[in-house]
Each structure stands twice: as structure tokens, then as C-alpha cells.
Amino acid sequence: MSTEDSVEPARSMHIGEVAERTELSLRSLRHWDEVGLLRPSGRTDGGFRLYTEADVDKILVIRRMKPLGFTLDEMSAAMRDLEDLREPASSKADRDAAHARLATVLAEAGERRARLETQLAMADEFLDLLGRELHEAHD
């Protein structure tokens, strides 16, 4: 691998393995790369995407945000903030700003989860109602 952004072959994965491990489609992973949400750590000389364990961890964070309805831009911003928070080279001001933004994301995620919980309760009620109706109609 001679390209500048190549990763060492120690533990890099091609897109198919990552898709299987994360239960995402190849299309989603390619799209996330194209829009800059999650770029693979490197590429082979032939241009194939190479992902690391750290990339997989990031993918799993994004995957957990998706059901909560976060947009690509919101997910991208949260991922940048997580990087700033974890990066020792980030300035204290950058880490503090990232911390504040992520606290807002946490609160929003909690609100979105509560709405989903309400929707699930309604779905459960509907399933119970329909089940009773079908059971009574069958008797």
C-alpha cells in the first residue's frame, strides 16, 4: 500500500466484512463515505475502502443514532464532537465546546427515545386490540 492514506494491514477490513459486522448495507457505508459522515481509515492501492476497529466503533455509534431520527449533518457533528472530546491534542476550549454540544445531543436523544417509547406503547395497544378482535371473530 503506497498511497498516503493507506492503513497498515495489521487489522484492516474491507467494506463487505464491515457491512456484515455492523449489519449495514454496502450502499449505506459507501453513502456515508461519499457525504463525509464516516470515511474509511484508508484504501488499498486499487482504491478499495479499508476500515479499522476504530472505524467500526464509529459506525456502531452512528447506527445507534439513526433510529432516533438524527440527520446526517447532526450525526456528523456529534461524531466530530466525540473526536474532539477524546482527542488529547484538542484544546480545553474545544473539548469544553464539544462537551456542551454533546450534552445537548444527549438531551435530544432522550426526548426522541421517549417519543419512540410512546409510539411503541401505542403499537402494543393496537396489536392487543387487533388480536382480541381476531380472536373474538374466530370464536
If you classify domain 1-68 with CATH, what class do you get? mainly alpha
What residue spans define the domains of the chain? Answer: 1-68, 72-139
CB 5 within 8 A of CB 15: no
Alpha helices in the chain (DSSP H): 15-22, 26-34, 53-65, 72-86, 92-138
pLDDT digit of tens for each residue in the chain (139 aa)?
444 454 445 589 999 999 999 999 999 999 999 999 999 999 999 999 999 999 999 999 999 999 999 999 999 999 999 999 999 999 999 999 999 999 999 999 999 999 999 999 999 999 999 999 999 988 7
pTM: 0.80
